[in-house]
Amino acid sequence: MDMQYLLLLQKFREATGGVLNDFFVQISDLSYGVFIWMLACILFWAADKKSGAFLFLNIAVSRFLMQLLKLTFCVYRPWIRDPGIVPVETASGYSFPSGHSVTGASNYGTVLDRYGKKHRGLGALMIVMLLLTMFSRNYIGVHTPQDVAVGAALGLAVVFLGTRAWAWIDEKPGRDWIVPVAGAALTALFLVYISVKSYPLDYDEAGKLLVDPAKMMKDGYKDAGRLLGVSLGWYLERRYVRFSTDVPVLTKVTRCGVGALVLLLYELAFMPAVTAAVSLGWIGFALTFGELMVLMVIYPLCFARLEAGKSARTASAV
């Protein structure tokens, strides 16, 4: 049934000359890559630090759990299971669950959770964006309906449980140490698990691996680094940096403008250059861990110190 559904969508694409292909590719891209961190950064640095931190944590936890499921079940992509399926664009790795649906649900779901009741129009937009993201992965032909359904459910579950975990942590001072300790423990267990478990080694007619487990493990290392980076970064900022978003609009714009440039350079230039030169899994772990430490601790510490120095100079001049 799932393959028949994808083939039906494929026939629609062919009948319409692929007129909607670019639209759904762009919708899909909004829930992955650099875009998933941009909103978290803007909220965290300039608008609503608590919601931004919550979004960072939700994305990192949901991606971590996504990798756990992907590397556990090792489900092949639809075109491997049915050669009749020709996707709009290729996707690497295992299929279940859909990573775009996971991150889309954690991203859009967090905005819905934090702002949906007060801003119903925004809440409705988040629901529409999540549904479009899920459908886009089917329309493009890279995921089955169960891939996107489980992915979205996973992301939304992280938001739901995270809201309650956050409230419990804030209930009593001093409980925040649990977050980095739990993040470190889960990261260590996950890395041991993916290193010792077995993976399917199936080959195509040309003798090439259908999916290379070593490559997929590298993706697991990256999201493990993100989980550790977010959990530790959140704790360090909360305890030691403590910057405020109660600043003038121009300061907010400057923070976001410079920070966005840092994020884009890191994601689109620095990380690809390093991983192209050194392909070890631990390099990916270190890069993603470092990225989240930069976004949540180092960059906020820099702009907080600079802003404090500027305020002090202005006060002394007066």
Q: What are phi and psi of 203, to 5 degrees?
A: -120, 150
| β-strand partners of 203 | 209
Place 69 in a pLDDT band, splitting at 50, 70 and 90.
very high
* Confidence at residue 38, expressed as pLDDT on a 0 to 100 scale: 92
Checking if the pLDDT of 91 tops 90, the result is no
Provide mean pLDDT across the span 241-251: 95
Quote the pLDDT of residue 314: 66
Structure tokens belonging to residue 2: 């799932």
Cis, bond preceding 97 (omega within 30 deg of 0): yes
Strands (E), 85-173: none
pLDDT of residue 276: 81
Residue 52 has pLDDT above 80, yes or no: yes
DSSP 30: T
pLDDT tens track for 6-47: 999 999 999 999 999 999 999 999 888 788 899 999 999 999
Q: Tell me the per-residue pLDDT of 279-289, one tens digit each, with 9 for 90 and over.
A: 777 899 999 99
- State residue 90's pLDDT score: 83
pLDDT at 19: 95
pLDDT of residue 224: 97
DSSP label at residue 119 = -
| Cα 179 to Cα 48: distance, rounded to the nearest angstrom | 20
Question: Mean pLDDT across the chain, nearest whole number?
Answer: 93
The tens digit of pLDDT for each residue in 100-131 reads 999 999 999 999 999 998 999 999 999 999 99
Bridge partners for 209 per DSSP: 203
Beta strands in 88-237 (DSSP E): none
Residue in this structure with the two tokens 């919601």, named with its chain if needed:
51
Residue 188, both tokens: 């260590």
Q: What is the spatial distance between Cα 277 and Cα 129, in angstroms, rounded to a whole number?
A: 37
Question: Whole-model pTM?
Answer: 0.93
Q: Domain segments of the chain: what residues?
A: 2-308
Q: Are 181 and 228 in contact (CB under 8 A)?
A: no
> What does the pLDDT read at residue 315?
61
